[in-house]
């Protein structure tokens, strides 16, 4: 057989996908598995967005679209950026639409990274960030975000990580996997550092921007410091806010030269994005926002349920996050023990594996997000399922010895 590309040796299948695969296998064996491993909203796409996609198809809007997005959706995105973020991005050259925000990120890295270029990634991080950087030939540089700082990046740590090879700073707020989010003042302190390093691009991955709780106000760095706007890529999408993960619509606003380069990259990979999906996304962005607020309220209730449930488990301590739909509990008190089924629990990965095999609850170990001994738990499930998952975890922990 002919050889595969050597670059594939730089990356691997994400742990969240691996856990989901094992959960499906156990389900196929007849096990009652609760999967809290994937960030998949359990709500339905808004009816008016579905109707808009349907009507677009009926009207014959099924031809090849522009590579950077339809005019209607880019105009809706421009309105969204102004309404939600107080940012002015022109539909003419400053906005790109992609097959999900993940393609947006990949195109940006592909358009800017040469071999050995560095990307500063606060840790814990979404598993895809370092994997795609490495696949392209870049070098991830991790900045620790300890729990005693709320899992948020410290400006002095970011500055210490910057070198002549630094090309990007990643900011994912609210964060996956911790749910942490920075205040305006905290972002302003980071912005002050970045003003001293004009050679570095800034990536603001704001996918969870509307999922914030307890009166917390989301801000993004180009809004906080407009002087950074010309080297900031502000990324969002409809997947989390409108429960449209399967529609695969992500987008970004940024300076024209960067957007042009990203459009070129996208043109070599997938070209334009589904016209029907774009019509649905435009309707979601321009339509009633009540559904998004109701989802955020439900996620706050679920967060509180899960945080309380986990803190009642022997050996687990769970921080209460500002946003997203994840918690990142510390399981240090469970290590060095043996499970009820006889499995040795030496690491957070051991904890997750034993929890899945014995209690049939799928989670993802913190090491895959760059920080141990923690576990990522998604609470994008209904209350009854989450309550049962917490009961199983509590029982599992009680049997550790």
pLDDT digits (tens, 9 = 90+) for 246-272: 999 999 999 999 999 999 999 999 999
CATH of domain 47-286: 3.40.640.10
Report the residue count for the chain.
Answer: 401
Residue intervals of the chain classified under CATH 3.40.640.10 are 47-286
pTM of the complete model: 0.95
Question: Residue 15: its pLDDT value, please?
Answer: 73
| Portions of the chain given CATH number 3.90.1150.10 | 6-44+291-398
pLDDT for the residue 55: 98
Q: What's the pLDDT at 14?
A: 72
- Give residue 115's pLDDT: 96
Residue 21: what pLDDT? 84
Q: State the CB neighbour count (10 A cutoff) for residue 324.
A: 30
What confidence score (pLDDT) does residue 139 get? 98
H, E, C per residue of the chain? CCCCCHHHHHCCCCHHHHHHHHHHHHHHCCCCCEECCCCCCCCCCCHHHHHHHHHHHHCCCCCCCCCCCCHHHHHHHHHHHHHHHCCCCCCCCCEEEECCHHHHHHHHHHHHCCCCCEEEEEECCCCHHHHHHHHHCCEEEEEECCHHHCCCCCHHHHHHHCCCCEEEEEEECCCCCCCCCCCHHHHHHHHHHHHCCCCCEEEEECCCCCCECCCCCCCCHHHHCHHHHHHEEEEEECCCCCCCHHHCCEEEECCHHHHHHHHHHHHHHCCCCCHHHHHHHHHHHHCCCHHHHHHHHHHHHHHHHHHHHHHCCCCCECCCCCECCEECCECHHHCCEECCCCCEECCHHHHHHHHHHHHCEECEEHHHHCCCCEEEEECCCCHHHHHHHHHHHHHHHHCCC
**pLDDT under 50 in the chain at which residues?**
none
Answer CATH for 6-44+291-398 from 2.30.30.180, 3.90.1150.10, 2.30.29.30, 1.20.140.10: 3.90.1150.10
Q: What does the alpha-carbon distance between residue 23 and residue 9 come to, in Å, rounded to a whole number?
A: 26
How far, in whole angstroms, is CA 120 from its chain's centroid? 16
pLDDT of residue 138: 97
Mean pLDDT rounded to a whole number for the chain = 96
């Amino acid at each position: 057989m002919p050889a595969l590309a050597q670059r594939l040796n730089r990356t691997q299948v994400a742990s969240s996908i691996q856990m989901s695969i094992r959960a499906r296998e156990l389900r196929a064996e007849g096990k009652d598995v609760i999967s809290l491993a994937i960030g998949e909203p359990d709500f339905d796409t808004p009816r008016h967005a579905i109707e808009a996609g349907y009507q677009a198809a009926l009207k014959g809007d099924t031809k090849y679209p522009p590579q950077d997005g339809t005019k209607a959706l880019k105009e809706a995105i421009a309105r969204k950026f102004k309404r939600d973020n107080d940012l002015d991005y022109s539909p003419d050259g400053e906005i790109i639409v992609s097959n999900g925000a993940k393609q947006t990120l990949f195109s940006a890295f592909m358009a800017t990274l040469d071999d050995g270029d560095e990307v500063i990634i606060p840790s814990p991080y979404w598993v895809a960030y370092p994997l795609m950087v490495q696949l392209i030939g870049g070098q991830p540089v991790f900045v620790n975000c300890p729990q005693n700082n709320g899992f948020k990046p410290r400006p002095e740590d970011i500055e210490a990580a910057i070198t002549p090879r630094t090309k990007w700073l990643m900011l994912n707020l609210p964060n996956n996997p911790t749910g942490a989010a920075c205040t305006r003042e905290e972002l302003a302190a980071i912005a002050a550092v970045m003003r001293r390093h004009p050679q570095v691009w800034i990536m603001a991955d704001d996918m969870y921007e509307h999922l914030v709780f307890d009166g917390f106000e989301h801000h993004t760095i180009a809004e906080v410091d407009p002087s950074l706007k010309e080297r900031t890529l502000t990324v969002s999408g409809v997947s989390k806010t409108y429960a449209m993960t399967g529609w695969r619509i992500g987008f970004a606003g940024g300076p024209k030269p960067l957007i042009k380069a990203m459009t070129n990259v996208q043109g070599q990979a997938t070209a334009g994005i589904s016209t029907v999906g774009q019509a649905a996304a435009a309707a979601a962005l321009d339509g009633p926002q009540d559904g998004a607020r109701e989802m955020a309220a439900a996620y706050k209730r679920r967060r509180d349920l899960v945080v309380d449930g986990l803190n009642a488990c022997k050996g687990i301590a769970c921080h209460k996050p500002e946003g997203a739909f994840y918690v990142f509990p510390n399981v240090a008190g469970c290590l060095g023990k043996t499970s009820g089924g006889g499995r040795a629990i030496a690491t957070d990965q051991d904890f997750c594996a034993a929890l899945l095999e014995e209690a049939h609850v799928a989670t993802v170990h913190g090491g895959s997000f760059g920080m141990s001994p923690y576990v990522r738990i998604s609470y994008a499930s209904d209350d009854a399922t989450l309550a049962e998952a917490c009961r199983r975890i509590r029982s599992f922990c009680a049997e550790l010895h």
